[in-house]
A and B are shown apart, each in its own frame.
Chain A
Amino acid sequence: GNSVTQMEGPVTLSEEAFLTINCTYTATGYPSLFWYVQYPGEGLQLLLKATKADDKGSNKGFEATYRKETTSFHLEKGSVQVSDSAVYFCALSDLNFGNEKLTFGTGTRLTIIP
């Protein structure tokens, strides 16, 4: 079955540091890949997505590239801000089953220190 393995947290960085959160996946078919973000006390918001190999999703300075050869979708940001403190979830969706239910990683809590 489908699975997502995500970098263990928590991760603590100083403001303006470079961020990488690793994500690898196992899936049948041709999944779409996502990063969701959960700010304190809130639900999940879509951060970025990629629907096919070599696609790069980007939003709010974050980027992730769909790498089929390494089955990875690592999240990166060149210079983090305090407002980026949140929990980040990597997820995949396999439309072969006729619905878009997501399989999530365990989440990575990110804290940015001023």
Chain B
Amino acid sequence: SQTIHQWPATLVQPVGSPLSLECTVEGTSNPNLYWYRQAAGRGLQLLFYSVGIGQISSEVPQNLSASRPQDRQFILSSKKLLLSDSGFYLCAFGVRVPPLHFGNGTRLTVT
């Protein structure tokens, strides 16, 4: 069966520190991969998506970057975190037929 794993579940980082969130998918090949962010009191915003290895599309300008080093691995990174990067980050995958499948999320607090 198809599953998605996202870690860590929670993270507290100081301003200016680096960030690496990882997401892996099992049970399917060549999925579309997505990073969404849910800021406090706001809806879900698409940050990045990828339709293949090394192919990253950014939806909004920001302090974050994404990479896809392997077919089923998607990484969200930052070199220097800002306070405004705090939020709930969700990874998702799709197989070109609705719906998207979401991971359990990472709650990031930048202090």
Q: Which residues of A come within 8 Å of B, CB atoms?
A: 6, 32, 34, 36, 42-46, 49, 51, 89, 93, 95, 98-107
Contacts and interface: CB of A to CB of B under 8 A. Distances in A.
A42 B104 contact: yes
Nearest to B59: A101
B88 to A, nearest CB: 9
15 contacts: A42-B104, A46-B99, A46-B101, A49-B99, A89-B43, A89-B44, A95-B96, A99-B94, A100-B32, A100-B99, A101-B34, A101-B94, A103-B46, A104-B43, A107-B43
Given A93-B98, A104-B44, 16 more contacts: A43-B105, A44-B92, A44-B102, A89-B43, A95-B98, A98-B96, A99-B49, A99-B51, A99-B94, A100-B32, A100-B96, A100-B99, A101-B49, A102-B46, A102-B92, A105-B43
Contacts of A103: 46
A26 to B, nearest CB: 15
Contact of B102 (A43, A93, A107): A43
Interface of B: 6, 32, 34, 36, 42-44, 46, 49, 51, 90, 92, 94, 96-105
Contacts, number: 65
B49 A44 contact: no
Contacts of B44: 44, 89, 102, 104, 107
Contacts of A43: 6, 90, 102-105
B55 to A, nearest CB: 11
Contact of B46 (A42, A46, A95, A101): A101
Given A99-B51, A100-B94, A101-B49, A93 B42 contact: no
Given A105-B43, A107-B43, A100 B97 contact: yes
Q: Which 10 pairs of residues, A with B, have the shortest CB-CB distance? A: A106-B43, A104-B44, A100-B94, A43-B104, A44-B102, A43-B105, A43-B102, A32-B98, A46-B99, A99-B32
B87 to A, nearest CB: 13
